[in-house]
Amino acid sequence: MAPSFAVIPGSQVRGTLQSRERQVIQIVESAYGAHRRGETVNPDSYFLRFPDRPTSRIIALPASMGGADPVDGLKWISSFPGNVESGLPRASAVLILNDPATGYPLACLEASVISAVRTAASAALAADWLTRGRGRPARIGFVGAGLIARFTHTYLVGSGWTFEQVGVRDLVDSHAQGFREYLTRADDAPVTVYQETEDLIRSSDIVVFATVAGRPHVHDAAWFSHHPLVLHLSLRDLAPELILDATNIVDDIEHCLKADTSPHLAEQISGGREFILGTLGDVVFGNVSVPADRSVVFSPFGLGILDLAVGKYVYDQVRASGELAVIDDFFAELRRYG
């Protein structure tokens, strides 16, 4: 049959994923398992940078998922921090799904929500597994008050977490207050906006970093003396000395130790990778146990296979609903000799 091509807008993506946090976390967990078994291809991300816009970038994440329901594809995601000043989200993205049999693209999906969802689901999965044996944390603090922070809170609460208190810290007070207003609608826990990052960290059992920091801005190990779980989603907030002082879990070692992430800086000053205990897949599917007497830092670089897994789920659900918007005659040349 001639291949078809569909476009799935953000409204359909959001509607498909709404209130399905537990299911999406299971999809992400399964993708980690496939990656650990060698059933995926997840090459390096490619960064498009601009000499005249040094803080901005567009990133290509190609990937391939094997197994019983294979799919190939590419996420193309931009990060323009200047958008925040005008009220736009920092990131925008599309996801292309390709048919593994023919290579033809199947669909283009709006992917900012997919990207946020897979990040949040990964964080919620890590929070579950990395706190086992440590007691269920009751206090959470967010450093950075944007889209990723909001989705991470949604996925924690949607998968059964409850909190006695929630902390918020952002360099821009209006952003912190906006997130606080959202949290008061979404959660019964009292919300505190902190003026100092130290105070938030010391008051939290789980610390979520979801900033646009380009270099480490947290340096004092004493702030972590209570050994919290740190979901280091923005990757460049912690000084390398703090990384070396903690138990470290990543999503993929080769991916995470590059591009001047905090773990990459830790590798450079230590001369090795012994400070990495393992991957989240090792914890979930292997025999890696996490000690309870040290801070635990989860640093996920973000694997393209997670976008593929969530995107393929969205595509299948929309197609099954009969609401897939197919673009007729998208492919102009389908006969080899005309």
In a domain, 331, yes or no: no
In a domain, 1, yes or no: no
Number of domain units in the chain: 2
In a domain, 107, yes or no: yes
The answer to whether residues 107 and 126 belong to one domain is: no
What does the alpha-carbon distance between residue 146 and residue 81 come to, in Å, rounded to a whole number?
Answer: 11
What does the alpha-carbon distance between residue 156 and residue 162 come to, in Å, rounded to a whole number?
Answer: 8
Helix ranges (DSSP H) in 196-288: 197-202, 240-244, 253-256, 262-270, 280-285
pLDDT computed for residue 265 by the predictor: 98
Per-residue pLDDT of the chain (338 residues; tens, 9 = 90+): 678 999 999 999 999 999 999 999 999 999 999 999 999 999 999 999 999 999 899 999 999 999 888 999 999 999 998 898 888 888 899 999 999 999 999 999 999 999 999 999 999 999 999 999 888 899 999 999 999 999 999 999 999 999 999 999 999 999 999 999 999 999 899 999 999 999 999 999 999 999 989 899 999 999 999 999 999 999 999 999 999 999 999 999 999 999 999 999 999 999 999 999 999 999 999 889 999 899 999 999 999 999 999 999 999 999 999 999 999 889 988 888 87
In a domain, 138, yes or no: yes
**Length of the chain in residues, anyone?**
338
pLDDT computed for residue 134 by the predictor: 85
pLDDT computed for residue 320 by the predictor: 98
* β-strands 71-79, 91-98 pairing: antiparallel
Residue ranges with strand state E in 225-311: 229-232, 247-250, 276-279, 296-299
Indicate which CATH number applies to the domain containing 102.
3.30.1780.10
In degrees, to the nearest 5, what angle opens at C-alpha 77 toward C-alphas 73 and 143?
125
Domain that residue 25 falls in: 6-114+304-326
Q: Give the residue from 103, 47, 112 showing the smallest Cα distance to 310.
A: 112
The answer to whether residues 149 and 50 belong to one domain is: no
pLDDT computed for residue 279 by the predictor: 97
Give the amino acid at 243: I
What does the alpha-carbon distance between residue 248 and residue 245 come to, in Å, rounded to a whole number?
Answer: 9
Query: Which backbone phi and psi does 155 adopt, to 5 degrees?
Result: -75, -30
Tokens of 315: 């595509």
In a domain, 213, yes or no: yes
| DSSP bridge partners of 61 | 75
Q: Give the residue from 328, 311, 314, 299 showing the smallest Cα distance to 126.
A: 299
In a domain, 22, yes or no: yes
Query: Which backbone phi and psi does 25 adopt, to 5 degrees?
Result: -60, -40
Tokens of 306: 């997670």
The answer to whether residues 84 and 161 belong to one domain is: no
The answer to whether residues 141 and 247 belong to one domain is: yes
pLDDT computed for residue 81 by the predictor: 86
Supply the angle between the helices 304-320 and 21-36 in degrees, to the nearest 10: 130
In a domain, 334, yes or no: no
In a domain, 161, yes or no: yes
pLDDT computed for residue 86 by the predictor: 85
The answer to whether residues 280 and 207 belong to one domain is: yes
Residue ranges with strand state E in 170-225: 191-193, 206-209
The answer to whether residues 130 and 236 belong to one domain is: yes
pLDDT computed for residue 1 by the predictor: 67
What does the alpha-carbon distance between residue 207 and residue 250 come to, in Å, rounded to a whole number?
Answer: 16
The residue whose two tokens read 């920092």 is 90
